[in-house]
Structure 1
Amino acid sequence: MRIATAIGTVLGVGYLRPAPGTWGSLAALPLAYGLHQWGGFPLLAAATVACTLAGLWAAAEMTRGQEDLDPSEFVMDEVAGQFLALWAISYPAWAHDISITALWPGWITAFVLFRVFDILKPGPVGWADRKKGPFGVMMDDVIAGILAAIGVALLAGFSHGVLGI
């Protein structure tokens, strides 16, 4: 297995069917948990940047000379995007010394919102998705992850501030 394919498919996760993007997002959850447990938010943030850069390279390599510039088995974009969505719970857990598992509703919300934004591709997500090449492959999921993180933060603020939960 070429290194670019190993990275792009996240060691073969992208070959799982149906819905390889969902499998890629699910694979990101235990990875994010481990990164947060080992090094807190700073390590998760660094891993997100590393995944994004590695994904840009792997997407270029995997699609070089191919007709399909966004193959369904490429799921490193989902990992990077899901990591970003989880920043909304990793940072407060790290900054306030809260167990990240205590924020379990945020995990579910981050996963669901990320998948919704990734599938429906509203606004800037769709704009990035229409770009050709590695940028488009990676950036639609990065933007979906940012939107999901904002959604998680807003819903947490509403839940804790307005509802008092």
Structure 2
Amino acid sequence: MTEGRRGAAVWLATGLGAGYFPVAPGTVGSLEGVGVVLLMNYLPFGRLGHSLAVGAIAGAIFAVGVWSAGRAEVHFGRKDPERVVIDEVVGQMLTFVARPEFRWPWLVAGFAMFRLLDILKPFPADCAEKLPRGWGIMTDDVVAGIYSFLALSLWQWICA
């Protein structure tokens, strides 16, 4: 791979450089995901349009992440390097895929829930992590994002 393509892959995989943050780079990557969803909240979508747009953008970032995270893994010389945070961006976005109106308590709860599930890796996230290269890096966070979405939705339904 040319140096330029490797550099682009690493830059994308590190969440546009957020993965180089010296403390808790995964948390910083998750904050990027929250930021993307919050910015999308200002676009003129209805509830369904917002969910579809967040899902489509998360899907596109997932595809880029499989490619870039796999190359970054080779670049850093270790499996699932902590500097690769594009997976956290996608997983955190999925937590809020059907939540176009935000209230701070739910935003904080969803953020914390995703971080906890990303760290704990409940089944099948633990199995997904074993997939090769970029697939494993990305897919375990997708599972954590889906679990976080379901838990947040249930919690909101109970509290409504």
Asked if TM exceeds 0.5, the reply is yes
Corresponding residue for residue 94 of structure 1: none
CA displacement at 1:66 relative to structure 2? 5.7
* Equivalent position to 2:79, from 69, 78, 87: 69
Task: Establish whether residue 148 from structure 1 lines up as the match of residue 158 from structure 2.
Answer: no
Aligned to 1:112: 112
* CA apart distance, 1:89: 1.5
> Alignment partner of 1:81: what SS?
helix
Which residue pairs with 2:137 in the alignment?
137
Gaps of 5+ in 2: none
**SS of equivalent residue, structure 1 residue 68:** coil
- In terms of mean alpha carbon deviation, does 15-24 or 37-46 score higher? 37-46
Question: What 5-or-longer segments of structure 1 have no aligned partner?
Answer: 91-99, 161-165
Identity %: 33
Residue 3 of structure 1 corresponds to 8
**Equivalent pair of 1:56/1:135 in contact (CA under 8 Å):** yes
How big is each residue's C-alpha offset from its partner over 1:14-54, in whole Å with a ceiling of 9 and x where there is no partner? Answer: 01122111110012212111123224222211110011001
Go from structure 1 to structure 2 and tell me whether the alpha carbon gap of 1:115 and 1:65 turns closer, same or farther (over 3 Å shift).
closer
Equivalent of residue 67 in structure 2, options 35, 57, 64: 57
Q: 1:105 to 1:5 in 2, by over 3 A?
A: same
Q: What value does the CA root-mean-square deviation take over the aligned residues?
A: 1.6
| Residue number among 32, 44, 48 corresponding to 1:27 in the alignment | 32
TM norm structure 1: 0.84
Which residue number corresponds to residue 16 of structure 1? 21
Residues 84-134 of structure 1: per-residue CA shift (max 9 Å, x gap): 0011413xxxxxxxxx23x33221121011001001111111111233311
C-alpha separation between the residues in 1 aligned to 2:125 and 2:64?
A: 20
The 1:4–1:65 alpha-carbon spacing in structure 2 relative to 1, beyond 3 Å, is closer
How many residues align structurally? Answer: 150
Counterpart Cα distance in 2 of 1:83 and 1:65: 26
Provide TM-score, normalisation by structure 2: 0.86
